[in-house]
């Protein structure tokens, strides 16, 4: 039974998330935790827009917040987002990783330690290699791994890197990733 989903994306990620997140309906049984590389820009406008499209409640993650189903959490700009052993978030301003803060790898690796085989990791479109090592760690810990098919990605570099490094369980076009998440999240329920 899966207990959380982590998603990492960069260039083209706004469009990808507008396709994926609205398909996850109310009652979706696991929380979704997202790192989107947006630099120093504020998430507020995008979070509000996504809330108008989604049945899940979309919000920025807060430090010490309990992670709950029914939510899609975004890493705040300029903070690394980590999952703690008590299933809460922590935020750090440690140095950039893969030229990014927030870093997909840092989220994925911390979540893998906590959720182990009950975690699903997803790498979407992006222009660098962030997320590849974290996705490999999720797979090594027994979690499920999904990568957007580079052919459907706005920017194929991040999916290609994740495919090469992590050898994921699934390589899917963006349009059906939500269907696979719904299928996996319902296993064991």
Which one, of 78, 48, 45, 75, lies nearest residue 63 by Cα?
A: 75
The pTM of this model reads 0.96
Dihedral sign for Cα 161, 102, 87, 68, please. Answer: negative
What is the domain range of residue 36?
Answer: 4-186
Q: Residue 20 is part of a domain; what is its CATH number?
A: 3.40.50.180
Over residues 65-95, the pLDDT tens digits come to 999 999 999 999 989 999 999 999 999 988 8
Name the residues annotated as catalytic.
10, 37, 130
Residues 128 and 125: their CA atoms lie apart, in Å, by 9
Q: How many structural domains are present in the chain?
A: 1
Q: What is the DSSP string of 91-124?
A: EE-PPPBTTBSS-HHHHHHHHHHHHGGGEEEEE-
Over residues 5-55, the pLDDT tens digits come to 999 999 999 999 999 999 999 899 999 999 998 766 667 888 889 999 999
Joined together, the tokens standing for residue 95 give 């140095």
């Amino acid at each position: 039974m899966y207990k959380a989903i982590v998603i990492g994306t960069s260039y083209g990620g706004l469009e990808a998330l507008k396709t994926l997140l609205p398909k996850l309906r109310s009652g979706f049984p696991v929380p979704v935790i997202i790192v989107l590389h947006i630099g120093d820009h504020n998430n507020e406008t995008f979070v509000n827009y996504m809330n108008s499209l989604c049945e899940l409640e979309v919000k920025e993650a807060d430090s010490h917040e309990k992670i709950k189903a029914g939510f899609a959490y975004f890493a705040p700009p300029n903070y690394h987002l980590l999952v703690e052993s008590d299933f809460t978030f922590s935020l750090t301003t440690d140095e950039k990783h893969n030229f990014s803060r927030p870093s997909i790898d840092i989220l994925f690796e911390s979540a893998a330690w906590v959720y182990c085989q009950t975690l699903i990791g997803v790498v979407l479109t992006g222009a660098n290699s962030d997320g590849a090592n974290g996705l490999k760690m999720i797979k090594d810990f027994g979690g499920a791994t999904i990568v957007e098919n580079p052919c459907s990605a706005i920017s194929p570099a991040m999916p290609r890197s994740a495919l090469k490094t992590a050898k994921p369980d699934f390589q899917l076009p963006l349009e059906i990733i939500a269907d696979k998440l719904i299928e996996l999240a319902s296993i064991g329920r």
